[in-house]
Amino acid sequence: MLSYALKRIVRSWKLYASLILGMMLAATFFGGINVGADTIGKQALDAQLANTPVDISLTPASSGISVPSSSFNNVIRKVLGVSGVVSAEALGSVNEQFYPYNGSIPNIKGIQDNSPLYHHLTLVSGREISNANESVINSDSQFAQTYKPGQSVKYTFGQFGQTGPRFNVTLTVVGEVQLDTVAVNTLGASPIYYGPSGSTAKPASTLIVSWDKTFSHIADWAYNQTRFGKGGDYSITGAVNVYLDRPKLLSAFNVEGSITQVQQIDDQVSNVAALNGFSSQPNLISPLQQFSSSIFGLRLTFTIFSIPVFFVAWFVGRTVSQASFNLRRREIGLLMTKGFSESQLFRHFLVEALLVGLIGGSLGLAAAVLLNPYFVQVLSGSYQSEVFLSQDTAIATMIFTIVLTLLAIYSPARAAASMDPSKALREYVYLEDTRPSKKRGAIVAFSLGLYKIILLLLGINFQNIGRYLFGVNFLLAIVLIIIAVLDYGLNIIGPFLFLYGATQLSTGVALRFHMRFASLSKRLVGDIASLASKSVFRNPRRVTALVFLVALIAGYSIWVIGDMASLQDYNVRQAEVQVGSDLRVSGIGNFNLTYATLVASQLRGWSNITGATPESDNTLSLSSRASITIKAIDPATWRQGAYYEPEWFSGNINTVFQNMQSNSQSIVLDHGLASHYSIQQGGTVIVSQNVSLTVISFFGPDYSQQTQGQPFGYSYFQPEGWSFVPLSLFTQYPSVSGINSVLVKAEPGVSFTELANSIQKAYPSLAVSTAQDITQGIRPVVSSGAQASAQNAGAVIANGTQNVLRLGTVFAGLAASIGIGAVTYTGFKEREKETTMLSVRGLSYKQMLGLLVTEALPLVIFALILATAVGLITVRGDSLAQNSLTPNYASLLAPRRVVFPLWALENILAIVGLLFLGVFLPAITAARKDLSKMSRTVRFA
């Protein structure tokens, strides 16, 4: 049976090729998605734990140093004996309570000579620690400017504010080191602020000493003071940092199991710590618990958005199997006459399916291995050559492909095995399946889908409605919550249900559309084009399946690509709104308006900058209850240097800025605030009690009616928007001056990061922020691994999800092209004798090609029209839903919108091109007739 099945596959390879290709594509996508998911999960887990460098912290049970330094060594030795612990080290700290208190000297951190932390310290100048009382200082800290290699720092320890024993130590600075993120978080050298408000944060100044040579003596002195009741210096503390085998214990896709293992190890470490006078604090369990729900959402999203690709593979397999079994009717009849039972035939067909699954799975695995770097790069945003297809993923891919193949062939194989032998012996019968499709399921699907489509068209969001009605009627709120849960499920499957129901119920519409198209094609192929509609609708079930397949993939692609383009546009605009432009230059310390104006003037002369303008922000009082956010701008340069959208300003924008430039007492008033207080254009507002301003225009949306809904019906109006005045007003009234900055607009194509570095180098006393910093972590594609590592776990998962959707559209388009080609080819193959007789009767190649193309092309066009409508409605509905759920001022000012940039249109057109390719290639192949084969076909017809 096995050899016969293999022989059949080899002999009929053209029919099986499309089936194998479809399964190969599904296997490649399944394997690649799993590899990418593993990579994304690991990146997200690493990001979640990026600020948790220490897995378990052990501290003395009492405050300060309540155990001798030897106890630290003892507990380290015993903890290392616990399975799962890879290293442990002592860490000592002295934090700003020296006697007498002197805030001008750095903190002290003591680490062991064999500490892994040394791998996270980069020597900048000087040398490493080699002797007692030597230290290195973090180079980018505030005090590194004062304490250079060769200088000494004297410390005196004792209980602050009291007399008693003192301990003196003089530390010599021998080098400067740069701390990476792990070292900063482990040593507690996070940025703190020095100087006046608005200053840039600087890392905490820290002297790092040897625990073994220096800090252990400080710790023993502190322990002796506590031990003999002399009053210890509680600024001296010690801890043991315990590190677990994270690669072995932690799995992004088995977080619950990881938590269990970590908890078990923590219990053992805690027991050892308690026996040595220490208490234990687990640091991994809480972030892992927070990560668990996020990774579950990632798995669910991957599964949901992979369904279209797998559905297409199943559909192709089912359709090709039906056609191939019909072409093998005589073979099946002969096997029955030779004694094959129905069960034997069915098992034989399943063996064929098993072989097809093995072949398709093997080819898919090979393609996945070759494309593995591409999968990882696209899905995770970085190239990681060390990631390979694991054995578990390979086994899962093979099992998945075999199961998918069996599911595709099962129903056609059962029907073929139960065929009547007398009918089976007939060599050629075209399956004219004229049975109408079952309408009940289609009506239910269409109704649910239509309900969701209407909600998307109207922009109704039950989650948002419930927020406003919660305090009005409790029972109504409960009903809305239930509807919101159902509506959330329909957000994903609603459009697909509509497409399924519409294609099942619109067979008559499709037939009329097909006949109209055929009448147009008569100019190409003549009156014989009318045969196309009659021929293709001999099997209406196959027609509806083909239309649904095309509509599903095209609608899915438009939805996904449109959502990605819309989200990318929204993220970029939100970043520009938050920063104010491409870059914002802020001051450290005293950054007055005169200097800001000078910097803006100088930056406007740079070749890679299109505009720069000074801006001053302040919040002033408008009345006893309200405040107003004022932005003082230079009307002559603001539009060249700032980000804005013309519709934000009411009236003619050129006139508005001309009036502002000519009248220093003018104001462009926040529209929401003006509407709430009924302030008209041309009216007067008084700010800071004595500054009178004339309203010349309004800015932004009117949000006065969008009050923040609260329980029990309580609501209030809170001004959120911005108002603009000319800078000359702040010059005239120095008391209302605010925080100054410079907005910079870069030339198109200029790297924001490189430009920011150039500005920082030219103006060392200024700080530069960019819109790129804001969008990092929320764009569909991450440009580098370094960027990915800087994101939080949520951003990594969001990126991964978007990239899965992007990759899914590519594979869905390829799968749909193969599916359409397979359905079309098998249909032509079943009717090969019919088309041959038409050729014999005088149809030219051009007429035959036109006839065959006319059969399938109108169905594809009809499906594309349906898919385009549903896809655009869904993208618009998603945009409206997000806007209603994020009613902050920035989202009101720059709401999410439907956009299709060039790259999005190119992707959609490429997928549509693949769909049309699936129509034309089989038609071109079937229209070519070999004379020798034609004569043989005619003789046996």
Sheet holding 684-687, edge to edge: 684-687, 691-699, 666-670, 722-726, 627-633, 609-621, 739-746, 583-587, 766-770
Per-residue tokens: 104:
């001008």
Average pLDDT value for the chain: 79
Maximum average pLDDT range among 75-89, 202-216, 348-362: 75-89
What SS3 state is found at 336?
helix
Give the C-alpha separation, 715 to 709, whole Å. 5
Lowest mean pLDDT among 234-243, 255-264, 435-444: 435-444
Phi/psi at 146 (5° precision): -100, -45
Distance CA 469, CA 64 (A): 54
CA nearest to 319, candidates 146, 543, 134, 49 = 543
Query: Encoding tokens for residue 390?
Result: 């694991």
**H or E element that contains 200:** none
Instruction: Check pLDDT > 70 for residue 451.
Output: yes
Contacts of 619 (CB under 8 A, 6+ apart): 627, 628, 629, 630, 738
Q: Taking CA 396 as the corner, what is the angle to CA 390 and CA 402, rounded to the nearest 5 degrees?
A: 135
Lowest mean pLDDT among 247-251, 553-557, 732-736: 732-736
Give the DSSP H/E element, type plus range, for residue 458: helix 439-458
**How far is Cα 364 from Cα 394, in angstroms, rounded to an integer?**
10
Task: Please state the three-class secondary structure of 346-388 as a single string.
Answer: HHHHHHHHHHHHHHHHHHHHHHHHHHHHHHHHHHHCCCCCCCC
Is the CB of residue 251 less than 8 Å from the CB of residue 257? yes
Q: What is the DSSP letter of 154?
A: E
Per-residue confidence band for 15, with pLDDT thresholds at 50, 70 and 90: low
**Residue 560 is inside which H or E element, if any?**
helix 540-579
Count of beta carbons in the 10 Å neighbourhood of residue 355: 19
SS (H, E, C) 647-676: HHECCCHHHHHHHHHHCCCEEEEEHHHHHH
Query: Mean pLDDT across the stretch 34-50?
Result: 76
The domain locations on the chain are 1-52+297-429, 54-283, 589-764
**Distance separating alpha carbons of residues 828 and 864, to the nearest angstrom:** 22
Helix (H) or strand (E) holding 646: none
For 645-672, the pLDDT digits (tens) are 999 999 999 999 999 999 989 999 999 9
Structure token digits, residue 306:
């992979």
Task: Please tell me whether residue 46 adopts helix, strand or coil conformation.
Answer: helix
> What is the Cα–Cα distance from 150 to 166, expressed in whole angstroms?
25
Give dist(CA 821, CA 754) in Å, integer.
49
Query: Closest Cα partner for 249 from 267, 270, 265?
Result: 265
- Euclidean distance between CA atoms 137 and 204, whole angstroms: 10
Least confident of 392-401, 418-427, 461-470: 461-470
Q: What is the mean pLDDT of residues 459-477?
A: 64
pLDDT at 193 over 60: no
- Please tell me the least confidently modeled range out of 192-196, 250-254, 589-593: 192-196
Q: Which residues, at least 6 apart from 681, have a Cβ–Cβ distance to it below 8 Å?
A: 650, 651, 695, 696, 697, 698
Region of 651 please: left (phi>0), alpha (psi -120 to 50) or beta: left
Tell me the C-alpha distance between 452 and 878, whole Å: 12
Q: Is the model's pLDDT at 783 over the cut of 60?
A: no
Taking each helix axis from N to C end, the angle separating 507-520 and 474-505, rounded to the nearest 10 degrees, works out to 40
Contact 809, 557 (CB under 8 A): yes
Residue-wise pLDDT for 683-719, tens only, equals: 988 888 788 899 999 999 988 876 544 444 445 677 8
pLDDT for the residue numbered 790: 41
Average pLDDT over residues 105-112: 85
DSSP line for 392-424: HHHHHHHHHHHHHHHHHHHHHHHHHHT--HHHH
Say whether 590 sits in a helix, a strand or coil: coil
Average pLDDT over residues 765-769: 84
User: How far apart are alpha carbons 107 and 124 in whole angstroms?
Assistant: 19
Q: Tell me the pairing of strands 107-111 and 206-210.
A: parallel
pLDDT at 773 over 50: yes
Rounded Cα distance between 228 and 122, Å, is 41
Please give the share of the chain, as a percent, with pLDDT higher than 90.
22
Give the whole-angstrom CA distance, residue 203 versus residue 782: 28
Strand partners, 202: 192
The SS3 of residue 542 is helix
d(CA 446, CA 439): 10
- Sort 130 into a burial class: Cβ within 10 Å, 0-12 / 13-18 / 19+: exposed
User: Is the separation of the CB atoms in 208 and 177 below 8 Å?
Assistant: yes
Q: Is the pLDDT of residue 384 over 60?
A: no
Q: 246: burial class by Cβ within 10 Å (0-12, 13-18, 19+)?
A: middle
The count of other CB atoms within 10 Å of the CB of residue 757 is 12
Cα 245 to Cα 225: distance, rounded to the nearest angstrom:
37
Q: Is the pLDDT of residue 347 over 90?
A: no
Between 198 and 417, the higher pLDDT residue = 417
Tens digit of each residue's pLDDT (9 = 90 or more) over 605-622: 999 999 999 999 888 888
DSSP string across 830-879: HTHHHHHHHHHTT--HHHHHHHHHHHHHHHHHHHHHHHHHHHHHHHHHHH
3-state DSSP call for residue 634?
Answer: coil
Please state the length of the chain. 941
Buried b or exposed e, range 850-862, using 16+ CB within 10 angstroms: bbbbbbbbbbbbb
pLDDT in tens, 54-69: 999 999 887 778 788 8
Residue 749 DSSP class? T
- Output b/e per residue, 762-787; b: 16+ Cβ within 10 A: ebeebbbbbbbbbbbbbbbebeeeeb
Residues forming a β-bridge with 687: 691
Q: How confident is the model at residue 200 (pLDDT cuts 50, 70, 90)?
A: very low
Are the CB atoms for 159 and 232 separated by under 8 Å? Answer: yes
Plot region of 678 (φ>0 → left; ψ -120 to 50 → alpha; else → beta): left
Give 909-912 contacts, CB < 8 A, sequence gap 24+: 910/813, 911/553, 911/554, 911/557, 911/809, 911/810, 911/812, 911/813, 911/816, 912/554, 912/864
**What is the 3-class SS of 891-904, one letter each residue?**
HHHCCCCCCCCHHH
Question: Which of the residue ranges 424-428, 441-445, 473-477, 545-549 has the most confident prediction, judged by mean pLDDT?
Answer: 441-445
| Helix, coil or strand: residue 142 | coil
Separation between Cα atoms, residue 294 and residue 289, nearest integer Å:
10
Q: How confident is the model at residue 541 (pLDDT cuts 50, 70, 90)?
A: confident
- The residues, ordered by sequence, that sit 6+ positions from 448 with a Cβ below 8 Å of its Cβ are 490, 494, 497, 498, 501
